[in-house]
């Protein structure tokens, strides 16, 4: 709407211009003063602050800061002192031991969080987070309380391949150990790509019930189901028969495993990896597509069962600033922010995308699978296990690839760890089992 015309009175117009200049100058001074006050308060350490520890660095950290933290700081006028570390578990353990833990932490392992909860380090979130807003596999209760919820989710049980690869080529590649892109290296957490393999093979071959019994510490490592999963993985990787392939897998960092996909001639064709790997340069260049792993795992019988993982938020200090951040991170706005950058997925309230939502086709279909009420979603079993068992499992996958004849001894050792006193096992890792939905 246009402003109505006004008469050009000779005395009025100059006063309006002067008043406008005065208001403009005053507004500018107020803005500068406010900025100076904010800077001064921060410099004096008087601005309300909440400390947050997570494992996101690089691009993930930038996305988290831009899409989640900055809007929170602008809206609530609370500064977030963020620390990102790839050795997050070690950093948190040292901080807890020193008596200086962060206010809020984001960890990938509910098993590790359960141990901290039993030690009295975590605060219940019952009044801060609507448990009904997340599936049962994401907010597993402990002693009747909710201690964590997912901020960023990921889908596993998938195999990536380059665009243009036909069904017959996929089947042939799956039977050839040399066509699998594998990297077991990951610094202090090396071996976890192998645990993902064994978990998924067990889930697809023996079903969610056996998977859950194992993740709860009930099904023995020396059981027929578990031993079969290890042997199936060994055959897929060429363990015991192709030392060059095994050597390559053991020496390759997981983030570089897909690089041979873009070489000429192609060095590998398939990668069993979580949805996040699609953002790597090699799969971008190869226009990566995916199939459910059940289509390529020998002996798979499970119907629509998926392994999932997530970055879980927990509270260590219930300060007003920290509880405000917890409520925000559980909100639909914060949960939805990850999907905007396609740097992750959300399974929180309001996360279900609208049919008109833009984005890559692979991202939309994977998001729909994560939110599919008809499917069975089981949290990453090793992440749900007590840390001592989880770490030994990861180390055992490396030992097994190098020496598959050591399998019986490795499984006996894992069983002895499973039965150790004082461990905290979660009672559920799947949102449901077939026939209960």
Render pLDDT for 104-145 as a digit per residue (tens, 0 to 9).
999 999 999 999 999 999 999 999 987 677 877 899 889 999
**Cα separation, 426 vs 141, whole angstroms:** 8
| pLDDT, the chain, mean | 87
Residue 322 confidence (pLDDT): 98
Residue 369 confidence (pLDDT): 93
Q: What is the mean pLDDT of residues 253-279?
A: 96
**Cα separation, 81 vs 51, whole angstroms:** 5
**Residues 203/309, Cβ–Cβ less than 8 Å:** no
**Residues 158/300, Cβ–Cβ less than 8 Å:** no
**Between the CA of residue 2 and those of 5, 6, 116, 427, what are the distances in Å?**
9, 12, 63, 66
Q: What is the mean pLDDT of residues 237-253?
A: 95
Residue 351 confidence (pLDDT): 67
**Cα separation, 322 vs 366, whole angstroms:** 32
The per-residue b/e assignment along 382-394, b for 16 or more CB within 10 angstroms, e otherwise, is bbbbbbebbbbbb
Q: Which domains does the chain have, with CATH numbers?
A: 49-154+308-369 (3.40.190.10), 156-307+379-418 (3.40.190.10)
Per-residue tokens: 239: 């363990």
- Between 350 and 146, residue with greater pLDDT: 146
Residue 61 confidence (pLDDT): 92
Residue 375 confidence (pLDDT): 94
Residue 182 confidence (pLDDT): 98
Residue 47 confidence (pLDDT): 81
**Cα separation, 149 vs 139, whole angstroms:** 5
Per-residue tokens: 37: 């006050």
Cβ-proximal residues to 374 (8 Å cutoff; 6+ apart), any chain: 304, 437
Residue 13 pLDDT greater than 60, yes or no: no
Using pLDDT thresholds of 50, 70 and 90, give the confidence band for residue 9: very low
Q: Above pLDDT 70, what percent of the chain?
A: 84
**Between the CA of residue 274 and those of 146, 177, 196, 240, 268, what are the distances in Å?**
26, 19, 9, 26, 17
**Cα separation, 82 vs 52, whole angstroms:** 5
Residue 391 confidence (pLDDT): 97
Residue 60 confidence (pLDDT): 87
Residue 252 pLDDT greater than 90, yes or no: yes
Using pLDDT thresholds of 50, 70 and 90, give the confidence band for residue 30: very low
Render pLDDT for 341-394 as a digit per residue (tens, 0 to 9).
666 788 886 666 555 555 688 888 998 999 898 999 999 999 999 999 999 999
Per-residue tokens: 331: 């909100």
Q: Is the peptide bond before 56 cis (omega within 30 degrees of 0)?
A: no
Query: Pick from 310, 353, 273: which is nearest to 140 by CA?
Result: 310
Render pLDDT for 68-86 as a digit per residue (tens, 0 to 9).
999 999 999 999 999 999 8
Using pLDDT thresholds of 50, 70 and 90, give the confidence band for residue 44: very low
């Amino acid at each position: 709407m246009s402003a109505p015309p006004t008469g050009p009175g000779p005395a009025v117009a100059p006063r309006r211009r002067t008043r406008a200049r005065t208001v403009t100058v005053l507004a500018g001074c107020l803005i500068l003063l406010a900025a100076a006050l904010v800077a001064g308060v921060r410099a004096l350490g008087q601005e309300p602050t909440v400390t947050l520890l997570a494992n996101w660095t690089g691009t993930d950290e930038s996305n988290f800061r831009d899409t989640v933290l900055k809007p929170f700081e602008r809206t609530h006028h609370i500064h977030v002192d963020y620390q990102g570390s790839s050795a997050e578990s070690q950093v948190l353990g040292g901080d807890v031991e020193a008596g200086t833990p962060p206010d809020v932490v984001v960890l990938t392992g509910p098993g590790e969080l359960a141990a901290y909860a039993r030690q009295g380090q975590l605060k219940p979130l019952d009044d801060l987070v609507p448990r009904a807003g997340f599936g049962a596999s994401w907010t597993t209760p402990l002693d009747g309380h909710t201690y964590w919820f997912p901020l960023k989710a990921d889908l596993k049980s998938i195999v990536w391949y380059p665009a243009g690869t036909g069904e017959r080529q996929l089947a042939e590649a799956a039977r050839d150990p040399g066509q699998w892109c594998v990297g077991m290296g990951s610094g202090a957490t090396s071996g976890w790509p192998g645990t993902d393999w064994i978990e998924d093979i067990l889930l697809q071959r023996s079903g969610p019930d056996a998977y859950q019994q194992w993740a709860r510490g009930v099904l023995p490592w020396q059981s027929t189901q578990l031993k079969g999963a290890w042997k199936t993985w060994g055959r897929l990787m060429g363990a015991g028969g192709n030392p060059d392939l095994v050597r390559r897998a053991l020496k390759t960092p997981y983030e570089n495993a897909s690089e041979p996909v873009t070489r000429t001639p192609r060095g590998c064709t398939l990668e069993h990896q979580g949805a996040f790997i699609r953002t790597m340069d090699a799969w971008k260049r190869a226009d990566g597509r995916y199939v459910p792993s059940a289509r390529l795992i020998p002996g798979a019988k499970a119907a629509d069962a998926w392994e999932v993982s997530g970055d879980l938020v927990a509270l260590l200090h219930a300060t007003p600033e920290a509880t405000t951040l917890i409520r925000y991170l559980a909100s639909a706005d914060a949960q939805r922010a990850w999907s905007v950058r396609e740097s992750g997925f959300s399974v929180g309230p309001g996360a279900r995308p609208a049919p008109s939502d833009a984005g890559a086709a692979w991202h939309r279909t994977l998001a729909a699978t994560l939110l599919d009420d008809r499917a069975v979603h089981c949290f990453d079993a090793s992440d749900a296990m007590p840390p001592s068992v989880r770490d030994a499992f990861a180390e055992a996958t490396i030992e097994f690839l190098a020496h598959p004849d050591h399998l019986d001894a490795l499984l006996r050792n894992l069983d002895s760890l499973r039965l150790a006193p004082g461990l905290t096992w979660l009672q559920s890792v799947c949102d449901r089992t077939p026939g209960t939905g």
